Structure formats: structure tokens, C-alpha cells
Structure 1
Amino acid sequence: MQKQRLDLIEMFVVSLGGGIGGSLRYLLSFLPIVGQWPLMTILINWLGTLLLAILGSYLSHRSSRLKRWQAFLGTGILGGFTTFSTMLLQTAQLTQSNIVMAGLYLVMTVVGGVLMIILGQYIGHVLCGERL
């Protein structure tokens, strides 16, 4: 019974965070679009990846009591904020007009994401007072 109660609390925490993250992504859709390239999606996914790497690195050095923060911030807010499916849809749409740009968009998104993970883990370690 206690486990079920904790699972329901975690589900609520993730749902709340997802609503916040999705709302933040929606608000960013009001910023002006530059050209036909989906820059906002790249920036959203890079920022979300960076913040998730920082969070994961930081929380891995902290008490398990912070597990709900991982669920709220990581799975909830950042999961709702980032958008893998939109990135794939935009890649498919770009292939209709310019396959080279579509490939470049996909490569930039993935390579930039990997770089954000490396940077985020570094920042997380620094926040925990570790020297690398």
C-alpha cells in the first residue's frame, strides 16, 4: 500500500512537471522564426539536454531523498520541454524541400546534444565540488 501511494505521488509530480515543461516549450513558439530552419527546436533540445545532464550529474552525488526532484525536474519539466518527435517530424518535412538541410539539421541536433551532455556533466561535477 505504501509503495502504491509513493508511485501515485511520483506520477503526480511528473505530470505537474510535464505540464510546466510543455507550457514553456509552447511559450517559446511565440518567438520569431529565422528562415525555414527549425532553430527553436534545436535550441530547446540542446538546452533540455544540457539541463538534464547537469541535473543527473548533480543528483548522482546527492542523497536518494532527492529522487522526486529527478522525477519532477528531469522526467517532468525537461521531458515536457524537449521534443524528440517534433525534431523527427521537422527533419522529415525538410527532406521534402532540401535533403541536405534535413541531414545537416539532424546531425547538428545529435552532435550538439552530445556536446551538451559532456558540458552538462562537467557543470554538474563542478557544482558538486569535484575536480576533473
Structure 2
Amino acid sequence: MDSRTIISVAVGGFLGGITRYELGFLLGNNGVLCANLIGSFLLSFITYYFIDRKPLATWLNAGIGTGFIGAFTTFSSLITTIIKLESQDLIASIAYFLVSSLGGLTLALLGFVLARKYGRHQQND
């Protein structure tokens, strides 16, 4: 791995973590949910549009996907929030888990579909 990739992932990770933290600060428990849902869409879209088409350098793709989005989304914060909610309200905890899981999958699918559709449209022009 070259130094550009390492630096790109480190900078992306820093920015992604700070962005998630600020979103959590502004929205509380909903900040983690929003970060994970947005991240699901972005990672899918970026993977199937930018990375497949290769308009960006490999080191930049790693910084965006692995660094920024990897730090922006977080499984540990999801689990922590679910456990915290479970101690207060079991139904809210289950709903949060379902919205996170099904919403994440739905938005990842939407990102995939839009990336493929937009990518084909660009190739036909």
C-alpha cells in the first residue's frame, strides 16, 4: 500500500468520524441512524458508480470509501444505541434495529440502482 492511500484513508477516517460525531451531537440517537442510512446509500453508490468506472485515483477511492464512509458509519454505535434504547423502551429498540437494518439495505439497493442507471446514461452520451 502506498503512502497516498494510507494518508487518504487516515484523513477520510478523521473527517468521517468527526462528521458522525457532529451528526450525533445535533440529532442524538437519530444521528447514528442517519449516519448509517446515509452511509449505506453513499457506499453503495460510490462503489458501483465511481469505483467501477474508475474516474478517481485508487488512493482517493480508498480514502472516500474505507476512510470517510467507514468512519462515518459504525456498527458499534448502532449496537450501543440499541442497547441504550432497550433499557428504556423495548419497542423503540426493536424499531430502531429494524429501521437501521431494513433502511440500510433499502438505501444500499437504491444507491446500486441509481449508480448503474446513471452510469449507463453517462456511457450512452
The match for 1:17 among 12, 28, 38 is 12
- Residue identity in the other structure for 2:70: G
**Aligned 1:114-129 pairs, distance under 5 A:** 114-129=105-120
**2:43 is the alignment partner of 1:43:** no
- Greater radius of gyration (CA): 1
Contact 2:51-2:61 at 8 Å conserved across structures: no
TM-superposed deviation, 1:32: 4.8
**Who is 1:85 aligned against?**
76
Q: TM-score, normalised by structure 2?
A: 0.85
Q: TM-score, normalised by structure 1?
A: 0.81
Structure with bigger helix share is 2
Distance 1:26 1:13, change over 3 A: same
Gaps of 5+ in 2: none
**Who is 1:110 aligned against?**
101
**2:26 is the alignment partner of 1:31:** yes
Distance 1:94 1:31, change over 3 A: same
Once residues 42 and 56 of structure 2 are traced to their aligned partners in structure 1, the CA distance between those partners, rounded to angstroms, is: 20
Gaps of 5+ in 1: none
Once residues 127 and 68 of structure 1 are traced to their aligned partners in structure 2, the CA distance between those partners, rounded to angstroms, is: 23
- Residue identity in the other structure for 1:67: T
Percent sequence identity over aligned pairs: 26
List structure 1 runs of 4+ shifted beyond 6 angstroms: none
Distance 1:120 1:66, change over 3 A: same
1:39-58 Cα distance to aligned partner (Å, 9 max, x none): 22111100011000000001
SS at match of 1:129: helix
- Residue identity in the other structure for 2:117: V
**Who is 2:52 aligned against?**
61
TM-superposed deviation, 1:17: 0.4
